[in-house]
Homo-oligomer: A and B are copies of this chain.
Amino acid sequence: MTDPSARPTRAQQRRQTEENILAAARQMFAELGYDRTTIRAVAKVAGVDAGLVMHYFGTKDELFSRAATLPADELPGGTTEQVTEALLASLAKRLDGEPVASLAVLRSMLTNTDAADRYRAAAEPQLSQITAAIPTADAELRASLLSAIVHGVIIERYLLRLGRLADASPDQIIELLRPCFRILATAQTPPSTSQPVTDG
């Protein structure tokens, strides 16, 4: 082999170029969503020609597919308590340092069916795990609510930038959410049974 640091092989260079394109694509999909990011713009950001992007990925869908692959952030099974904490930890991780691939899918999923499918595919095993850890008959619905809360928080923090959610510390958010998650996951009745509040 010749000196690998001075003269990268063709395969290495190709890999590097491909990675540059994917990074640029992830960034743009996350910022603009599927429809508004164009191959041309991605190519420009990556510093290559638009034709080359097509040459590597064939189609825009394929590029999105490769760029927006989610790292199946899986929860370990276990007790209700453990799963709840794992879910909170997973959220905390996503709350500091924007997960750009995740944002790409999130921003695209409302307009691109492929992104929606991808998101569903990534979310469903998590959903099952959470469901399995909840001991009530309506476990599925409770798990869905937990999922909805997680995604609602992420969307409002990163995509919509509404209220104080945009700049609050992850820890602060997690601490406020923990009791909610516990109640949803363990089906305990809240301490305020004395007040059913039928009145408006």
Binds B, one of A1-9, A51-59, A185-193: A185-193
Instruction: Please determine whether A184 and B191 come into contact, CB atoms closer than 8 angstroms.
Output: no
Residues in chain B near residue A129, CB distance under 8 A: none
Q: Does A138 contact B (CB under 8 A)?
A: yes
Flag if B162 contacts A81 (CB, 8 Å). Answer: no
Give how many copies assemble into the complex. Answer: 2
Q: How many residues of A contact B (CB 8 A)?
A: 66
Contact surface of A with B, Cβ cutoff 8 Å = 32-33, 35-36, 79-81, 85, 89, 106-107, 109-111, 116, 119-120, 123-124, 127, 135, 138, 140-145, 147-153, 155-157, 159-160, 162-165, 168, 172-173, 176-180, 182-184, 186, 188-192, 195-197, 199-200
Q: Quick one: which of B85, B155, B196, B197 contacts A155, CB cutoff 8 A?
A: B155
Contact of A123 among B144, B162, B186, B200 (CB under 8 A): B162
**Do B127 and A160 have beta carbons less than 8 Å apart?**
no
Tell me, in angstroms, the Cα distance from A141 to B176 when the chains sit together: 9
**Which residue of B has the minimal Cβ distance to A150?**
B152
Which B residues touch A148, using CB under 8 A?
A: 149, 152-153, 155-157, 162, 165
Q: Are B147 and A163 in contact (CB under 8 A)?
A: yes
Inter-subunit contact B173/A183 (CB<8 Å) = no
